[in-house]
Amino acid sequence: MAVEVVDQEVVARSFTQITDLTEEEVFFIMRLCADMKNGRIAPRPLAGKSVACIFAKQSLRTRVSFEVGIRELGGQSLYITDEEIKLGKRESISDVSQVLSRFVGMIMIRTFKQSDVDELARYASVPVVNGLTDLVHPCQIMGDYFTCTESLPNIKRFRIAYLGDGNNIANSWLNLASIVPMDLRIGTAASCQPDEQILSRAKANPESSILVTDDPKEAVANADVVYTDVWASMGQKDEAEAKSELLRKFQINSELLAGANPECLVMHCLPAERGREITDEVMDGPNSVVFDQAENRLHVQKAIMAFLLKQQ
Ligand code: CP
Ligand code: NVA
Which residues line ligand 2 at a C-beta cut-off of 6 Å?
Answer: 132, 137, 167-169, 229-230, 233-234, 269
Whether the domain at 4-137+295-310 and the domain at 139-290 fall into the same CATH topology = yes
Residues identified as active-site:
110, 137, 140, 229, 269, 297
Output the pTM of the full model. 0.96
pLDDT digits (tens, 9 = 90+) for 261-306: 999 999 999 999 999 999 999 999 999 999 999 999 999 999 999 9
Percent of the chain with pLDDT over 90: 96
pLDDT digits (tens, 9 = 90+) for 188-214: 999 999 999 999 999 999 999 999 999
Which residues line ligand 1 at a C-beta cut-off of 6 Å?
Answer: 59-62, 132, 140, 269-271
State how far the Cα of 173 lies from the Cα of 81, in Å rounded to an integer: 28
**Ligand 2 nearest atom to the CA of residue 236, by list position:** 8
Mean per-residue pLDDT over the chain, rounded:
96
Q: Where are the domains of the chain?
A: 4-137+295-310, 139-290
Q: Which of 62, 168, 238, 293 to mutate to test the pocket of ligand 2 (most atoms within 8 A of CB)?
A: 168
Give the pLDDT band of residue 312 (cuts 50, 70, 90): confident
- CATH classification for the domain delimited by 139-290, as one of 3.40.250.10, 3.40.630.10, 3.90.180.10, 3.40.50.1370: 3.40.50.1370
CATH number of 4-137+295-310: 3.40.50.1370
Ligand at minimal distance from the CA of 61 is 1
CA of 115 to the centre of ligand 1 (A): 20
pLDDT for residue 3:
47
pLDDT digits (tens, 9 = 90+) for 78-90: 999 999 999 999 9
- Which amino acid residue places its CA nearest to atom 2 of ligand 2? 233
pLDDT for residue 39:
95
Ligand at minimal distance from the CA of 131 is 1
| C-alpha closest to that of 119 among 128, 110, 108 | 128
**Ligand 2 nearest atom to the CA of residue 270, by list position:** 5
pLDDT digits (tens, 9 = 90+) for 27-74: 999 999 999 999 999 999 999 999 999 999 999 999 999 999 999 999
